[in-house]
Amino acid sequence: HGRSRTTIAWSAALAPAIGLALLALIAPTVFGGGAVAARVPWMPEEGFDIALRIDGLAWLFTGMIFAIGLLVILYGRYYLSPDDPFGRFFAMLLGFMGAMVGIAVSDNLVLTLVFWELTSLSSFLLIGYWQHRPDARQGARIALAVTGMGGLALLGGVLLLGHIAGTFTISELLDRGDVIRASPSYAPALILVLLGAFTKSAQVPFHFWLPNAMAAPTPVSAYLHSATMVKAGIFLLARLWPALSGTELWFWLVAGTGLLTFVWGAWTAMFRHDLKGLLAYSTISHLGLIVLLLGLNSPLAAVAAVFHIINHATFKASLFMAAGIVDHETGTRDMRRLSGLWRYMPWTGALAFVASASMAGVPLLNGFLSKEMLFAETLALERAGVVGLLFPMAATLGGIFGVAYSTRFVHDVFFGGEPHDLPRAPHEPPRWMRIPVEVLVALCLLVGILPGLTVAPLLAVAAGSVIHGPLPAYSLHLWHGFNLPLVMSAVALVAGIALYFVLRQRLNLHARVGGPWTGARLYDSAIFGLIRFARRFTRRTADGTLQRQVVLLLIMTLLVAIVPFAGPLPEGRPPAWASMNGIAICIWIVLAVSTGAVVALHRQRLTALILTGAVGLAVSLIFAWFSAPDLALTQLSVEVATVLLMLLALPFLPAVTPLESSAGRRLRDGTLAALLGIGMGLAAWWMMTTDGSTVAVEHIARSVPEGGGSNVVNVILVDFRGFDTYGEITVLAIAALGIVALLAKMADGGDAGVAGVADPFRPVMLDLLSRLLVPMALVVAAYLFLRGHNLPGGGFVAGLVTGVVLIVVYMGNGARWTHERLRTDFHRPLAAGLAVAGATGIGAWFYGHPFLTSAHGPLHLPVLGDLHWATAAAFDLGVFLVVVATVMLVLESLGRLTPPKAA
């Protein structure tokens, strides 16, 4: 409905309108040479803060983002079809706008990187807005892949810059340019930063994503090409110009890339038949022009770059909107079908003519001023020989090509013969759809005629932020006398118009079909190559067998484990043989014999399970011998629970594992197991006989004063590394739900007792034993839970003890009897455990502490006396609930299965 569409558009327009009002409020400070800053601690230990700062450059870019965004919203209200989802479009547009503003106002390199990636993701959604079109989906994927790879490079560059400068704060980093340029890491840091900027701003050879992005709606294209996305890389170069420029490497990489992009983009634009395609390559060319100016290592060139950023935003946004109007009112963007539209759309034609003239650099328009400054700066290069001639000649050539494609844009569309094969009869657009174009074209005229009264203050404050010092002398007057830059402008204008008509007559531009550039072909080849490699690699490594996956995993583990031992190892001390006694030796013998027996008898499932329990018991005793009672308790509880659950599952498995492995495979597996076992043994030996500092000393020292508990293991789990524990119980809960889902598919609707023991025939001894064990085990579990913060125990061990006794109840009484008495849906305790643990962690935020920071102190109770409480107990309660619920969910799922009948 038209009214609802207008309401959505007006609602979306509030954000940029409010942004512009806020910028107006701080304008006196910024134009007075100051800056507005705000800082919120984020990760102060690492030097990462949410630091925002608006100086002249940030004010300029934020103003362009908001102002042109406001015009795009108005334009999009009339451009989009009633069938297009308006809400989704404007939501994505505002998200993209916010990410771009974040880049502009961020004063921290890491925060800039976060917003940088957000622009890539939001532009991916905008380019692929018309999801039903294959070209939109493909264009979005290419843009995300190219800019995403550039973002990875930028990440490396940001980390290197922060390391070199000793800070990630941009305003501080800009003052340390000498330190950065003198560092041995300057070259790699510069290359990585430039890769990020060049991919985002579509510099050759990474420019091919931009023409593919033309599948986006025209409001998106107008916004991306004028004030956002492609200008992000330009902004980064301008922002870091004081710290990175001034070297030969900067000159050749930045100016060389910009010059190549400027000329190549202009040449290619002349042969595009699609209106938006021509404008896309013209954008590439003008971005190259700005990069060229920033690369010349001249403060005056930097001023010219900022000036052209402003000018390009105005004429390019208006040109894209004009192209969208033509497409919207005629149904096509193909210039081979469009001609003579002036008589049908004279006002749109006049607007497009002025904007194209500005893009071509015609006098009395803003594009002429900044392009003349470009010619002057290439002439001012203090380079002898070929280089001194190359830059002004190439700049003039790029100017000629720019006039040619600008002439084609106007002549092929609005002049010539009658249009043919148009899907719709051409006519002028709705009045409000044309207003954004009129505003932008008026700015082109005003800046071109009255630069001193319109753009001069903004240019001065923005360029001052880029140069980070006093501004050089420059003039924005329309007339500087007859000089060489004026001659270059005249040559570009005359030769460009002549070139277009010569190409039109001699080459027949309409008959020429341009193919994709090598960059696009290389991208496609790389993608197809990666897909082929992935398929071959998958066929050879992931053939669906678990054995192969385990073997590959163990081989990689072995290779990685060898790396630390490749170099010289610190000298060790002799082992303390005197601490060995007869009991310890017996435990080690039991462990070795049980392990060997498991390997020899693994095909007999019940025997192997019993022997595995013996191995776990021996490991528990070894932990106790090493004075690790918490580990011993946990290992013992896990071992008992695991063995009991496996006993319940045995009826669903064959009694004897069939012999499937060949002799060769057994030899391979045995060799790999031996190597891994020997390696683990040597690693353990080395660690126990080598003197070295560990984190244990620090944990012991901080356990009582910071965690409020003398049981260091428990304090680590619920306080120092509580976030890890929360992640682990979350994984445990997900695994429980996965087991329930898998076993639910196996259930056939029967209600047999657990492990094949039907409810009417319960084992009497096990039944009586379980009833005696339940209250005793629950008391032990409560005891272990309450003492866990200061003595061996805790929520995990208490949950395992409770789970073990419930397993015994299941085994002794059957599923039906147990379900009738428990009457509990254990999904709820599972969710409650996660909620309690999470709420305990979030509670610390209300007191200004990090997530899961524990509070503790003395507590006096009437009967129990003096106690020491800690909020970690609530977190431990969540762990307890998750463990018990996991065990019970598995038991319930097993209880619903009917074991297969014996043959």
pLDDT of 605 higher than 90: no
3-state SS of 671-731 is: HHHHHHHHHHHHHHHHHHCCCCCCCHHHHHHHHHHHHCCCCHHHHHHHHHCHHHHHHHHHH
Question: For 147, left (φ over 0), alpha (ψ -120 to 50), or beta?
Answer: alpha
pLDDT of 235 higher than 90: yes
Please enumerate in sequence order all residues whose Cβ is within 8 A of that of 340, keeping only pairs 6 or more positions apart, or say none: 414, 415, 416, 417, 418, 419
CB 241 within 8 A of CB 467: yes
The SS3 of residue 462 is: helix
Which pLDDT band, with edges at 50, 70 and 90, does 324 fall under? Answer: very high
pLDDT of 494 higher than 80: yes
The SS3 of residue 48 is: strand
Question: What does the pLDDT read at residue 513?
Answer: 56
Which pLDDT band, with edges at 50, 70 and 90, does 865 fall under? Answer: low
Mean pLDDT over 236-260 rounds to 94
Question: What does the pLDDT read at residue 164?
Answer: 94
Please enumerate in sequence order all residues whose Cβ is within 8 A of that of 610, keeping only pairs 6 or more positions apart, or say none: 643
In degrees to the nearest 10, what's the CA dihedral of 834, 840, 841, 843? 140
Mean pLDDT over 246-271 rounds to 93
Please enumerate in sequence order all residues whose Cβ is within 8 A of that of 78, keeping only pairs 6 or more positions apart, or say none: 429, 430, 432, 433
* Helix 386-414 × helix 256-269 angle, to 10°: 30
CB 901 within 8 A of CB 748: no
Side-chain-side CA neighbours of residue 128 (13 Å): 15
Least confident of 211-220, 341-350, 550-559: 550-559
Question: What does the pLDDT read at residue 753?
Answer: 41
3-state SS of 224-255 is: HHHCCCHHHHHHHHHHCHHHHCCCHHHHHHHH
Dihedral pair phi/psi, residue 476, rounded to 5°: -105, 20
In degrees to the nearest 10, what's the CA dihedral of 447, 448, 449, 452? 50
- Largest separation between any pair of C-alpha atoms in the chain: 113
Distances (CA, A) of 566 to 430, 563, 569: 74, 5, 9
DSSP state of 826: T
Question: What does the pLDDT read at residue 28?
Answer: 94
pLDDT of 251 higher than 70: yes
H-assigned helices in 380-468: 386-414, 431-449, 451-454, 456-467
pTM above 0.75, yes or no: no
Question: What does the pLDDT read at residue 750?
Answer: 44
Question: What does the pLDDT read at residue 756?
Answer: 40
DSSP per position, 532-570: HHHHHHHHHH-SS-HHHHHHHHHHHHHHHHHGGGSSPPP
Q: pLDDT per residue over 703-756, tens digit each? A: 888 777 788 888 888 888 888 888 889 998 998 888 888 877 776 544 444 444
Question: What does the pLDDT read at residue 760?
Answer: 45
Percentage of residues in the chain with pLDDT exceeding 90? 38
pLDDT of 572 higher than 70: no
What is the gyration radius of the CA atoms in the chain, in angstroms? 36
Q: pLDDT per residue over 69-126, tens digit each? A: 999 999 998 888 888 888 889 999 999 999 999 999 999 999 999 999 999 999 999 9
Q: pLDDT per residue over 647-695, tens digit each? A: 877 777 777 777 767 777 778 888 888 888 888 877 777 777 776 667 7
